[in-house]
Amino acid sequence: MIGAILGDIAGSRFEFSKPSHFNPQTVSLFGAGCTYTDDTVLTLATKYALLNDIPYARAYGRFGRMYRHVGYGTMFQKWLDGHSETGYGSFGNGAAMRVSYIAYHFNTLEAVEAEAKQSALCTHSHPEGIKGAVSTAGLIWLARQGESKKALMQYFHKNFDYPVHKPLWAYRPGAKFDATAQGSMPLAFRCFLESEDWETCIRNVFSVKCDTDTVACIAGGIAEAFYGRTIPNAEDVLQRYLIKPNKLGEFDHFLYNIVHQ
């Protein structure tokens, strides 16, 4: 889960633009302009829901209204404003970005997949939105069990019919911002597949024009599960970016504390 959160933070400053002479292999992972986004808030809402045995919709609504200005999509914002608890047919990547903790909470692949589906249904009830959530959680669970990249490829392709053989160099020329699950999932998986550790996975995301924070969140969650927690200065980065002043000028530790529950 921490790999997903730090992927979100690292990718946040490159979501819509990159500086001239940008080099994804040498640019700092974290720096000015980085922040947590809706990906982090809702990832922690998923954990909160499971630890406190409350419905996902209620947790997403509570967290979403507590942290309003973190980059939610228009449809999700309307869902928040309407205090809804039913899905609106979204096939965006938002359900996939928030499921990483589910793969740490349950002991079987079947339970992880079923729970990921439930977490998606309250918002991303389109089959593609559900597929993105289920495949992400399943990949992370399998990676935690020590499965090989080949096994993860087979799972991702055979069970969800996602393409797995297109290399990153082929993505780059025509790449564009794409917040759909069907556009984000194959790219996120390929960024992981061509990586050597968590950091190279995130740099692979940097190298392609995309919904950078969310693709890095999804890919980073898989990479952490596969490679282990080898993320440079993870605890320092979490403290730096998750603990922020609230409207009263007091430091808000709420999100940071949930990470460590």
CATH number for 107 = 1.10.4080.10
First-to-final CA distance of the chain = 12
Which residue has tokens 């990479």?
Answer: 223
Whether residue 21 lies inside any domain: the answer is no
Q: How many CA atoms lie within 13 A of 101 on its CB side?
A: 22
Number of other CB atoms surrounding residue 234 within 10 Å? 16
Residues with Cβ within 8 Å of 254's Cβ and at least 6 positions away in sequence, in order, are 66
Whether residue 245 lies inside any domain: the answer is yes
Q: In the prediction, which pLDDT does 17 show?
A: 81
| Overall number of domains in the chain | 1
Whether residue 25 lies inside any domain: the answer is no
Domain with 195 in it:
2-14+32-259
The conformation of residue 106, written as its DSSP 8-state character, comes to -
Q: What is the pLDDT along the chain (261 residues), one digit of tens a residue?
A: 999 999 999 999 998 888 878 999 999 999 889 999 999 999 999 999 999 999 999 999 999 999 999 999 999 999 999 999 999 999 999 999 999 999 999 999 999 999 999 999 999 999 999 999 999 999 999 999 999 999 999 999 999 999 999 999 999 999 999 999 999 999 999 999 999 999 999 999 999 999 999 999 999 999 999 999 788 889 999 999 999 888 888 899 999 999 999
Whether residue 23 lies inside any domain: the answer is no
Whether residue 27 lies inside any domain: the answer is no
The candidate with the shortest Cα–Cα distance to 102, out of 91, 112, 114, 87, is: 112
